[in-house]
Amino acid sequence: MSQTTRTLVFVKPDGVRRGLVGEIIQRFEKRGIRIVGLKMVHPTRELAEKHYAVHRDKPFFEGVVNFITSGPVVAMVLECPNAIEVTRQMMGATNPINAAPGTIRGDFGLDIEQNIIHGSSDPEAAEYELNLWFKPEELVGQ
Residues binding ligand ATP (CB under 6 A): 55, 60, 63-64, 94, 112-113, 115, 118-119, 121
Give me the least distance between CB of 12 and ligand ATP, in Å please.
Answer: 7
Distance CA 44, CA 49 (A): 9
- State how far the Cα of 118 lies from the Cα of 88, in Å rounded to an integer: 9
Residue nearest to ligand ATP (CB): 94
Give 80 or 84: the residue with its C-beta nearer to ligand ATP.
Answer: 84
Q: Which is nearer to Mg ion, 114 or 121 (CB)?
A: 121
* Residue 63, binding choice from ligand ATP, Mg ion, none, Cβ under 5 to 8 Å by partner class: ligand ATP
Pairing of strands 34-41, 73-81: antiparallel
Read off the DSSP letter of residue 32.
Answer: T
d(CA 41, CA 38): 10
| Residues 112/58, Cβ–Cβ less than 8 Å | no
Interacting partner of 96 out of Mg ion, ligand ATP, none (Cβ under 5 to 8 A depending on kind): none
CA atoms of 39 and 119, how far apart (whole Å): 15
Is 51 known to be catalytic? Answer: no
- Kindly state the smallest distance separating residue 129's Cβ from ligand ATP, in Å: 9
Could you tell me the smallest distance in angstroms from the CB atom of residue 105 to ligand ATP?
8
Residues with a catalytic annotation lie at 118
